[in-house]
Amino acid sequence: MHAIYAFGVLILLAFLGSRLLYRRSRPLSPFNFLFLTGLVYIFLGLFLGRQGTNILSSEVLRGFAPLISLGLGWIGFLFGFQLERRYLRRFPVKFLWLSWFQFLFNLLFTILLLTFALGRILPETPSPLRYGMAIAFGLLVSLNSPTLLNAVASRLPCRGDYYYLARFLSSVGAFWGITGLMLLQSFWRFPPSAGPAWLRGAGWTAASTMLPMLLGYLFHRLTKGRVAEQDLLVYLLGLVFFASGAAVFFNQAPLYVGMVLGITYSNLTRIQERIYPLLLSSEKPLFVVLLVLIGALWEFRLDPAALALVGLVLFSGAAGNILPLPLLGRALRFPVRLPHRFGLCFLSAGGIGVAFAVSLKLAYPMPETDLFLGISLTVIILSELISPGVIRLVLDPLDEET
């Protein structure tokens, strides 16, 4: 009965919450932005979880674990679906190189900083877990969501080169982080040893990529004829749920599998622009439920070690986005100067960051990933509170200079 009651609460929250998400009529403020992104429902999940009313108890959450995996696959599919070849070709190739080098610098900078810090903050944690946490935090801070740029676009008096560059980097930057998640989940499962372990990791990597590509191709062939868009949406939901279930069964990352599936299908279909709005509208109820369940998984901590890690991850994310830009701009011969402050446009990780954090928690259920999830959610929410005020102060003056 407890599970049925909890399921009814989730259905009610999905119905009500989906009507509050994405409302843009109010002025863009940090608090309103949390409603716009839906991240406020994480706090509701925290209230309903083990540290609150316990409606979403540990037993209930174990029963709802497949629903979380399905939501992760759907988020990955929506992200990958926007990476259409025709869209990417509108931008110079050097934009893609900039996103790669910015990701790489952010990742390496965070790994070096966190590896050193974790050895002092968590000295009793085994070294392999500390290295894995450092890599995971590096991947997390490299993620960026375009939601904030979409929300602030109508309020910017001038949208010049800097705005469109930030829009591109936000749209494709998370690709590297999600791919890193797949590599981490494929190789970290095996102890570091001789060749066979690495070969098994490479096999999991290939399987995680080939499975969604094959499913996307087969789905495109089966629906190539005249299919009503509403019917196609139902078929797509079934396809993503099947791929997510297969990913969980084979211990792969549903977020990555969904992303590859979205990339594959969006580059095969000719009606991408017509069905993408339908996909976004169907996302709202599932996204609310997913955020509530993630909030219930949150082990909220305010001890000195957690606070120190929150500060370090925030610092590494800001520094990793700010420091390399002037050098990269000159090396890639950008037509516009890339000052340090332009990196402040990439503090918002949004829902993609939340999905990344909970993906690792589900793949490796242990106390260290509880800590990782808690630190990650705190960092993401603090970043979302800071970003709305920062991005207009950054983009307005820069675009006026061009």
Instruction: Note the pLDDT of residue 157.
Output: 60
Of residues 377, 348, 291, the one with CA closest to residue 13: 291
Of residues 165, 164, 114, 167, the one with CA closest to residue 139: 114
Of residues 395, 347, 341, the one with CA closest to residue 155: 395
Where do the structural domains in the chain lie, given as residue ranges? 35-401
pTM for the full model?
A: 0.89
pLDDT in tens, the chain (402 residues): 455 556 566 666 555 555 655 555 555 666 777 777 778 888 888 888 787 777 777 877 787 788 888 889 999 998 998 888 887 888 888 888 999 999 999 999 999 999 988 888 888 888 888 888 899 999 999 988 877 777 776 666 666 778 888 888 888 888 999 999 898 888 776 555 545 666 777 778 888 899 999 999 988 888 877 667 677 778 888 888 899 888 888 888 999 999 999 999 989 888 777 777 777 766 677 787 888 888 888 888 778 888 999 999 999 998 998 889 889 888 888 877 888 888 888 888 888 999 999 999 888 888 888 889 999 999 999 988 888 777 777 776 665 565
What does CATH list as the number for 35-401?
1.20.1530.20
Cα distances (Å, whole numbers) of residue 352 to 68, 174, 199, 247: 14, 8, 29, 18
CA 68 – CA 62 distance, rounded (Å): 10
Structure token pair of residue 124: 């009793």
- Kindly report the CA angle at 344 between 121 and 155, in degrees rounded to 5? 140
